[in-house]
Homo-oligomer: A and B are copies of this chain.
Amino acid sequence: MKKKRVGIVGATGIAGQQFIAALDRHPWLRVTRLAASERSAGKAYGDALRDDSSGQLRWWASPDVPQWCAGMNVENASELELGDLDLVFSAVESGPARELEPLYARELPVLSTASAFRYEDDVPLLLPGVNMEHAKLVKKQQKLRGWKGFILPQPNCTVTGLAVTLAPLHARFGLKRVSMVSMQGISGAGRSPGVAALDAIDNIVPYIPSEEEKVAVEARKLLGKLTARGIEDAAIKVSATCTRAPVLEGHTEAVSVELASKAEPRQAATAFRAAGRKMSALGLPSMPEQLIRVHDDPFRPQPRLDRDAGDGMTTSVGRIRKEPLFQHGLRYLLVSHNTKMGAAKGSILVAEYLIAKGFL
């Protein structure tokens, strides 16, 4: 197969760096263009990453900037040449995304980590092993908007592990209520330079603006049904409390659910273990063997030990037990890699799926 040619927009930010790291030696995709804000345009990528005053390289996605991109020219995102690209990964903030992504989508598929279009009726959120059948909605989007391409946003990094684990419970037992408290890694904070060390060390920050609303709304959409009228949100009550913990990467989430029918912890474990099998069978390069790994050791999952399971694409679950507050209640904890499955690499896996299924 000829590799698809990929442009990365917002390439200098944390999320953009993660796209570059995740596409390093990718068998199906090749990065041929990089773009960022006007400030970086015209610079070599390696230079654009340096802090103006200190000269410090602002790169966090891997020990070193891959050699193939260090010398690549950074284009101005608002003037990106699209002619020789097959798709665009967009890793810009929500504000610029609202303006830039439609420009690209007129010509090309745009997979984005920005939240700008997540809540539009004709825009699906896709999560591997959860709702890939929602992909068909992009056809409607193209028709409605008259675009050759489409916009396909990645769900929020915090809802990702949650929805991955809720999906098999919902399918098998029915979900009524979901309560989630997160302890999120600091790499999830979008804006460079992200969380200040003075806030992070020896501390918990109890609030992440807009995060809790995103989790609730996106969970219902991800678990919803695609009908002729669009996506019908799942009728689940979701309550999220999102905090920031002194953890570099990996979101830990304590989840309680009320189910429609009785489920023993071991039944939930069985459902978790079976999740994603169909998707795993497709042979996509970024799909892990196990979508969900279930731990019996009550001291697991831990973010430092488990975030890299399945190369960052496996959600790790442990401590499955009864939730005494609900009639058919269960509780568990999960760890999900926020900048792999929860961001760039998750978006790349969706792209792989779209290629395999002929959408790209």
Instruction: Return A21 CB to nearest CB of chain B, in Å.
Output: 13
A183 near B245 with CB under 8 A, answer yes
Complex Cα spacing A199 to B301, Å: 12
**Cβ-based interface call for A227 (8 A):** no
Residue in chain B with minimal CB distance to A193 = B196
Does A300 lie at the interface of the complex (its beta carbon under 8 Å from any beta carbon of B)? Answer: yes
A53 to B252 CA separation, bound complex (whole angstroms): 25
* Bound form: Cα–Cα A304–B179 in Å: 26
- Among the 9-residue stretches A133-141, A202-210, A352-360, the one with 4 or more Cβ atoms under 8 Å from chain B is A202-210
Expressed in whole angstroms, the Cα–Cα distance for A241 and B243 within the complex equals 15
Say yes or no: B201 contacts A300, CB within 8 Å: no
Q: Could you give, for residues 188-218 of chain A, a 1 whenever the CB lies within 8 Å of some chain B CB and a 0 otherwise? A: 0001011111111111111101000000100
What string of 1s and 0s marks CB contacts (under 8 Å) between A299-320 and chain B?
Answer: 1111111101100000000110
Question: By the criterion CB–CB under 8 Å, are B204 and A201 in contact?
Answer: no
Q: Is B325's CB under 8 angstroms from A179's CB?
A: yes
**Is A57 engaged at the interface, CB distance under 8 Å to the other chain?**
yes
A203-B254 in contact (CB<8A): no
Cβ of A304: which chain B residues have Cβ within 8 Å of it?
202-203
The yes or no answer to A331 lying at the interface (CB within 8 A) is yes
How distant is A10 from chain B, measured CB to nearest CB, in Å? 16
Of all chain B residues, which has the CB nearest A199?
A: B197
Q: In the complex the two chains form, what is the Cα distance from A280 to B17 in whole Å?
A: 33
Q: Chain B's nearest CB lies how many Å from the CB of A90?
A: 19
Residues of B within 8 A of A187 (CB): 198
Instruction: Say yes or no: B198 contacts A248, CB within 8 Å.
Output: yes
List chain B residues, Cβ under 8 A from A142: none
- A67 interface residue (CB < 8 Å to B): no
Q: Inside 8 A of A60's CB, which chain B residues have their CB?
A: 198
Q: Which listed residue, B179, B198, B206, touches A333 by the CB 8 Å rule?
A: B206
| Contact across chains for A319 and B206 when beta carbons are under 8 A apart | yes
A164 and B21 alpha carbons, distance in the complex (Å): 31
Give the chain B neighbours of A198 by CB distance below 8 A: 60, 186-187, 193-195, 248
Query: Of all chain B residues, which has the CB nearest A255?
Result: B241
Known contacts A63-B306, A194-B198, A195-B196; is-contact A239 B331 (Cβ 8 Å): yes
Please determine whether B325 and A237 come into contact, CB atoms closer than 8 angstroms: yes
Instruction: Judge if A298 is at the interface, Cβ distance under 8 Å.
Output: yes
**A258-314 residues at the B interface, CB under 8 angstroms:** 297-306, 308-309
A83 at the interface (CB under 8 A from B): no
**Inter-chain contacts of A306 with B (CB < 8 A):** 63
> Most chain-B Cβ atoms within 10 A of its Cβ — which of A55, A248, A302?
A302
Give chain B residues whose Cβ lies under 8 Å from the Cβ of A324: 216, 237-239
A239 cross-chain contacts in B, Cβ below 8 A: 256, 323-325, 331
B-contact 0/1 string along A165-201, CB 8 Å cutoff: 0000000000001010101001100010111111111
Q: Which residues of B contact A256 (CB under 8 A)?
A: 179, 239, 241
12 pairs, A vs B, C-beta closer than 8 Å: A63-B308, A177-B325, A179-B179, A179-B256, A181-B254, A183-B243, A197-B200, A197-B201, A202-B247, A206-B300, A207-B298, A239-B256
